[in-house]
Structure 1
Amino acid sequence: MDDIFEALAHPIRRALLDALREKDGQRLADLERGHGITRFGVMKHLRILEAAHLVVTRKVGREKLHYLNPVPIQQAADRWISRYAAPFARTLNDLSRVVEGDRSMADKAPKHVWELFVRATPAAIWAILTDDAKTPLWQHFNMTSQTDWRPGGAITFFAGDRPMIVGAIVALEPPHRLVHSFSAQWSPDVASDLPSRVTWELVAIGDSATKIVLTHDDFAGETATSKAVGGGWPEALSRLKTLVETGEPFIIPAPSAA
């Protein structure tokens, strides 16, 4: 974790993360403004943040967009202040935001992108990711799932007997890519949104490691769902990493039903 703390040590790098917290998916030209350093200087700081996996980038047309990745920060919190994990996860809810400004670009851009590295093969991660019996060991709020594991098959996540997320399998390419639609049902405001899309990509790194890239996009604008999901995914990814690497679940108690 030394690279994370080194990246956070510089005030300009913290300011760049703050800028992405306020408005995710920014171009280099956007991030240059207001820091009093050259374009090259901003690029240098962004490379350090990318090396620490605090920032991830995506190409959209000719533009390179920068996204805040809060997962490493949550991993640090889980290590030393795990009793504050639930409030921390709630704080992360605002870290990933919808791209603003040019709406034509925003319609094409991913809204939430997270990356993390896991000391396991894609096949080992895939085996857990596609095993409904293991879903509550890593999913947000310890949700369970029922899935028809075929393209077009239904996928549903439950809190108790109540469906919280419903969708369908769009693509199933073991052990590297899983895509499913995502229609939130936990409250009336999100239930009225059009379905969005979740894409899991498992990229092998050598013989025994994997880069997980999770993209949640295809929102119909700045929806209630797009604003709500930023807190749950970092927790789920951290718990998935712990489960795959150690074989032991990292349990965060689900909130009591009202």
Structure 2
Amino acid sequence: MSKEIEGADRVFKALADTSRRKVLDLLYAENGQTLTALCEQLDMQRQSATQHIEILISANLVSVVWKGREKLHFINPVPIHEVYERWVRKFEKNRLGFLYDLKVQLEGENDGKK
């Protein structure tokens, strides 16, 4: 299995859980939060939050920066973009092409008049 596929598998696994998606939403809203700040906004114990964040870190969706004694968590959108490019964009292109063809057909039938 290639590194790219293994990375995508970790991203999908990480995104499959609602709690982990909530962590990403929280970091999107306010990047650079401590574990304590995140736990205050999550409905779970610190140990559970740590486990979820570790999965996000292993999927490269969250990075950690130490600032003194504080461990700050930052969202990394690159793996999500890679998933989008590989799995969403190609389907979106076909759909948009279909809508464009439909528009041309409909306008052609009406000579561009409503």
> What's the TM-score, normalizing by structure 2?
0.70
Equivalent residue for 2:46? 39
For the pair shown, the structure with the greater C-alpha radius of gyration is: 2
Work out whether 1:16 is the aligned partner of 2:9: no
C-alpha distance in 2 between matches for 1:18 and 1:33: 14
Runs of 4+ in 1 over 2 A off after TM superposition: 80-85
Alignment-mate amino acid for residue 20 of structure 1? L
SS at match of 1:81: helix
- Which runs of 5 or more residues in structure 2 are unaligned? 1-7, 94-114
Matches within 5 A, 1:64-143: 64-82=71-89
Of 59, 72, 85 in structure 1, the residue corresponding to residue 66 of structure 2 is: 59
Report % sequence identity: 40
Residue aligning to 2:100? none
Distance 1:80 1:5 in 2: 11
Distance 1:2 1:72 in 2: 11
Query: What displacement does 1:34 show?
Result: 2.8
CA shift at 1:64, angstroms?
A: 0.5
User: Higher relative contact order by CA 8 Å / sep ≥ 6: 1 or 2?
Assistant: 2
Give the distance between the partners of 1:45 and 1:51, measured in 2 at CA: 10
Aligned length: 85
Opposite residue 23 of structure 1, the aligned amino acid is E
Deviation at 1:81, TM superposition (A): 2.9
Is the helix fraction higher in 1 or 2?
2
- Structure 1: tracts of 5 or more residues without a match: 86-258
The 3-state SS of whatever aligns with 2:42 is coil
1:2 Cα offset (Å): 1.0
CA–CA distance in structure 2, aligned partners of residues 34 and 56 of structure 1: 19
Counterpart position of 2:104: none
Take 1:36 and 1:67, find their aligned partners in 2: how far apart are those partners?
20
* Distance (whole Å) between structure 2 residues aligned to residue 80 and residue 46 of structure 1: 24
Query: Which residue does 2:109 correspond to in 1?
Result: none
* Partner secondary structure for residue 28 of structure 2: helix
Name the CA distance, whole Å, in 2 between partners of 1:3 and 1:80. Answer: 15
The residue number in structure 1 matching 2:55 is 48
Give 1:42's aligned amino acid: A
Specify the SS of the correspondent of 2:41: coil
Amino acid aligned to 1:17: L
Q: What's the TM-score once normalised by structure 1's chain length?
A: 0.32
